Amino acid sequence: MTGVQRVNIALARLPTWPVYVAGMLPAAWAVWLGATGGLGVEPINALEDRLGLLALQFLIAGLAVTPLRRWTGLNLIRFRRALGLVAMGHLVLHLTVWLVLDLRDWGLVWADIVKRPYITVGMLAFALLLPLAATSSNRAIRSLGPLRWRRLHRLVYLAVPLGGLHFVMQAKGWQVEPLVYLATILGLLALRVGVTRARIAA
């Protein structure tokens, strides 16, 4: 038995709930820091940024699950739902901070969504992820059927790069960090393209 197989067997015995708990800790930590001066002198913006970035990191982790299994044999599929829902949790907080602490006005929120392309793109990404979060239960998988469920969840291939684009567009200038994130996302998607083609051909 290889090392990876042993790890997979050990992982299969673990419960998934700790991923939810540990996954939301960074958000709780960020809110605590923001409230106590640990995010610098402009905490609202800093918290908004940090929650958005954490969401993107969990979405990227979710996208990495399949390529990891394919190229290394490491099987984290059981934890993918938790990664996706934790990402959604951070996104909801990201938007809540924007609405409740930053703009404090539904009218301004709507104006921003309509007028500011980077916000339009970000909201589109969020909207595409909503049906995925809503159909993340076992019951939803059963009622949709695995084929339709899988098709629906391919929306993630559109939503995550839009999230990465949102990060690139909100920065002043072409900053390195957002571009690295976007490139990582596109790279993870590119890893799938060849494989899907091969599968269709076979």
Partner 1 sequence: GAVAGMRPARAEALVPNSWDEITSYNNFYEFGTDKGDPSRKAGALTTDPWSVEIGGLVDRPGRYDLGDILAKVSIEDRLYRLRCVEAWSMVVPWQGFELADLLDMAGVQASAKYVAFETLLRPEEMPGQRGRILDWPYVEGLRLDEAMHPLTIMATGLYGKPLPNQNGAPLRLVVPWKYGFKSIKSVVRITLTNTQPPTSWNRYAPREYGFYANVNPTVDHPRWSQATERRIGGGFFAPRVATLMFNGYGEEVAGLYADMDLAAEF
Return residues touching partner 1 (CB under 8 A): 34-35, 37, 40-45, 101-104, 108, 111-112, 115-118, 169-176
CB of 43 to partner 1, least distance (A): 6
> Least distance to partner 1 from the beta carbon of 60, Å?
21
Q: Which is nearer to partner 1, 45 or 57 (CB)?
A: 45
Q: Closer CB to partner 1, residue 37 or residue 194? A: 37
**Contact criterion met (CB below 8 Å) for 182 and 161:** yes
Q: How far is the CB of 115 from partner 1 (least distance, A)?
A: 8
* Residue with smaller CB distance to partner 1, 41 or 147: 41
The least CB distance from residue 79 to partner 1, in Å, is: 32
Over the Cα atoms of the chain, what is R_g?
18
Q: Which among 113, 119, 118, 115 has a CA at the least distance from the CA of 169?
A: 118
CA–CA distances in Å: residue 74 to residues 9, 60, 65, 67, 129: 10, 16, 8, 9, 26
136: CB partners within 8 A, 6+ apart: 81, 84, 85
